[in-house]
Amino acid sequence: MASDTSKQQGRPGPEMGHRPPLLSVRELGVALQTRGGNLQLTQNISFEVGAGERVGIVGESGCGKTVTGLALLRLLPARSMQVSGKILLDGTDLLRLPGRQMRAIRGRQVAMIFQEPMSALDPVFTIGQQIGEAIRAHFPVGAREARERAVDVLDRVGIPLPQRRHDEYPHQLSGGMRQRAMIAIALACQPRLLIADEPTTALDVTIQAQIIELLVKLSSEAGTALLFITHDLGVVAETCERVLTMYAGQVVEDAPVEDVLVRPRHPYTSALMRSLPNLSVPKSVLPSIPGRVPNALAMPAGCRFAPRCAHARPACGRAQDALPVGADHRVRCARFDELELPGTAA
Amino acid sequence: MNRRWRMLGERLSQVIPVIVLATIIVFGLLQLVPGDPAMTLAGEQATDERIAEIRHLYGFDKPFLVQYGTWLGHAAQGDLSRSLLSGERVVTLIGQSFPHTLTIVVLALLISLLVGVPLGILAAMRAHTRADTAISALSSVGVAIPNFWLAMILVTYFALGLGWLPATGATPLGESVVGSLRHAILPALALAAGGIAELTRQLRSALLEVLSSQYMRTLRAKGLSETAMICKHGLKNVGVNLLTVIGLLFNRLLGATVVVEAVFAIPGMGSLIVRAAINKDFPVVQGVVLSMVLVVVATNLLIDMLYSVLDPRVK
């Protein structure tokens, strides 16, 4: 993680010899303000992303992964959502930045791509205009140079005939091409971190694989860190070095991918892995997790997964802390030491 | 470009039946008006023979469809017959009146845009704040105020009280631009109040819808400022809605000008048709209606063409 730090215009780390990670999220929480009071959507989210590192966030719909991604760039509606905690980018807390400085971060330091490329692109501007204005928002370049750079980045994301595509509108592109165009917009200013929120969910399976491959390739070529938000553990296994498992607004496990695949420590992570379809075993019954995600209005007092957990004990009724399993592995389960949980089959 | 011309052709072919239908309806309605124009023309002491003669002379004794067909045939050649009252050519009358009306309506539209668009943007940017509430309260008032009442208030204060502007009459644009504008400004203001309110409200709600869209989130994620998001992307995306509102507004202003022209004694289309209708001057009524229909149809056509300029998805 400390490899290519020379090119970052860096503030010196707080401690000599120890460089802080690119992104450090501490005790991040998002609350929805309602008439009846605040509804806590996510809580105590803490994790780090090193420079150039690829981190996945997995979890079911509604676990708070998208909200977390949006909170990082302060894209949640300020009127109805309250964000607490710290989001440190190079040690600077993004939550305390004034609007103008936050704008300078968006797109330039941290960029984001979204699930639905069609609705995430402005329908009445050409692809090239939408890339060009991202460039011109952060660099003092003229229209001609913006165009050259836009065509160049379209080429880099594998869009054929970039000169022509530059002047086309989103509705003229296919779904996969649109997502490539989204990626081009996001990477136009060479950000250091790319947040990808379910970027392949709306695409055909064959296109999904291409987009994932492209993201990994671009991220490793440019040293861009990647925060990959998905419900698909299989994608994370292919893409990421580390994975955060989220459940009901909390991170329940944070571990290197290779560790967690072999030996997950949280019963929920383990259950997620077993519910992945395995094509090599035809017509097998896919295990599913019984029960439903708890309602944010009625969170269990102790372990939030306990009501659905096969390993729950009375002790699970107490609030669970994130416990260290190893140097880079934490889990929010009091019983992690006693349990022997299966990872991915085979 | 080629595609655009083909579209124009298609629209034109749809427009012709509209024109025919509108004129038939007006022609038919005139037949239902009580009273016989031949009797009016002949005068009070006329004999029955004289009335019959006049009826024959003007073709009032022919069947409805024949009368209409004759009128339409002449109209198609630019001949709208003569006024029964003054004997002047209807085309000439319209040519004298229409510029006055157009000046007021265009000025009212411009004022509506110049005030309504900034107010709408402001209301959307400051949605759910006090500024927004104040703007929507004002626009409710604007919609509710009857324009003839506003017209009289304006005349009382600015023309009669302060003497800044003339109270009545009109100057042709060709004669004196300043004089024409001085005459047009109060009637245009009276008309514009509703237009401002309408534009503000429509623009606010259209912009708020666009602002909550996912592509706005993408723009914010790129690091664009709120101003760039609203004034560049917001406005272009609501362009189609805005055009629709402008088209409807223009047509409504054309209608509303009848009353305002009466208040300001402006010799425009409104005054012309009112006088003609009261005196059963059928050729004039029919001519004015035809020209209004043509203007409305042309406006709609223009708006339709502009859609495809603003929105690349419109084919």
Distance of residue B232 Cα from the nearest chain A Cα, in angstroms: 10
Would you state the pLDDT for residue A1? 41
pLDDT at B86 over 80: yes
Average pLDDT in the B284-306 region?
89
pLDDT at A8 over 70: no
Which residue is listed with tokens 């409807």?
B248
pLDDT at A209 over 70: yes
Contacts of A120 in chain B (CB under 8 A): 214-215, 217-218
Would you state the pLDDT for residue A2? 42
pLDDT at A330 over 70: yes
Distance of residue A80 Cα from the nearest chain B Cα, in angstroms: 12
Residue from the list A104, A112, A122 with its beta carbon closest to the beta carbon of B221: A112
What is the domain partition of chain B in residue ranges?
2-76, 94-310
Tell me the pLDDT of chain B averaged across its residues: 86
Least confident of A158-172, A306-320, B199-213, B225-239: A306-320
**A161-203, pLDDT tens digit by residue?**
999 999 999 999 998 999 999 999 999 999 999 999 999 888 8
Average pLDDT in the A230-239 region?
89
C-alpha distances (whole Å) from A61 to each of A38, A292, A315, B304 are 21, 11, 28, 43
Cβ-Cβ pairs closer than 8 A, A with B, add up to 77
Contacts of B311 in chain A (CB under 8 A): 123-124
Average pLDDT in the A239-255 region?
93
Dihedrals phi, psi of B163, to nearest 5 degrees: 70, 25
Least confident of A3-12, B98-107, B292-301: A3-12
Average pLDDT in the B244-261 region?
90
Q: What is the CA radius of gyration of chain A?
A: 21
Dihedrals phi, psi of A299, to nearest 5 degrees: -75, 140
Bigger pLDDT: B215 vs A7: B215
Tell me the pLDDT of chain A averaged across its residues: 88
Average pLDDT in the B41-53 region?
79
Average pLDDT in the A253-272 region?
91
* pLDDT band with cut points at 50, 70 and 90 for residue B206: very high
A45 shares contact with chain B (CB less than 8 Å): no
Least confident of A209-218, A300-309, B23-32, B288-297: B23-32
Residue from the list B217, B224, B239 with its beta carbon closest to the beta carbon of A133: B224
pLDDT at A13 over 70: no
A120 shares contact with chain B (CB less than 8 Å): yes
3-class state of residue A234 by DSSP: helix
Would you state the pLDDT for residue A345? 53
Tell which of A73, A81, A122 to mutate to test the B interface (max B CBs under 10 Å): A122
* pLDDT band with cut points at 50, 70 and 90 for residue B315: low
pLDDT at B211 over 70: yes
Q: How far is the C-alpha of A173 from the C-alpha of B59, rounded, in Å?
A: 64
Interface contact B214-A114, CB threshold 8 A: yes
Least confident of A218-227, B16-25, B118-127: B16-25
Interface contact A134-B214, CB threshold 8 A: no
B220 shares contact with chain A (CB less than 8 Å): yes
Would you state the pLDDT for residue B1? 56
Would you state the pLDDT for residue A267? 92
Distance of residue B312 Cα from the nearest chain A Cα, in angstroms: 6
Residue from the list A108, A120, A121 with its beta carbon closest to the beta carbon of B223: A108
Share of chain B above pLDDT 70, in %: 99
ipTM over 0.95: no
Interface contact B221-A75, CB threshold 8 A: yes
Q: What is the CA radius of gyration of chain B?
A: 24
Per-residue three-class SS string for chain B: CHHHHHHHHHHHHHHHHHHHHHHHHHHHHHHHCCCCHHHHHHCCCCCHHHHHHHHHHCCCCCCHHHHHHHHHHHHHCCCCCECCCCCCEHHHHHHHHHHHHHHHHHHHHHHHHHHHHHHHHHHHHCCCCHHHHHHHHHHHHHHHCCHHHHHHHHHHHHHHHCCCCCCCCCCCCCCCHHHHHHHHHHHHHHHHHHHHHHHHHHHHHHHHHHHCCHHHHHHHHCCCCHHHHHHHHHHHHCHHHHHHHHHHHHHHHHHHHHHHHHHHCCCCHHHHHHHHHHCCCHHHHHHHHHHHHHHHHHHHHHHHHHHHHHCCCCC
Give the CA dihedral B212, B218, B222, B225, nearest 10 degrees.
-20
pLDDT at A16 over 80: no
Would you state the pLDDT for residue A5? 41
Would you state the pLDDT for residue B156? 85
A33 shares contact with chain B (CB less than 8 Å): no
Superfamily of domain B94-310: MetI-like (1.10.3720.10)
Would you state the pLDDT for residue A170? 94
Would you state the pLDDT for residue A17? 41
DSSP A243: E
Would you tell me which residues 296-315 of chain B have a C-beta closer than 8 angstroms to some C-beta of chain A?
310-313
Average pLDDT in the A210-223 region?
92
pLDDT at B30 over 80: no
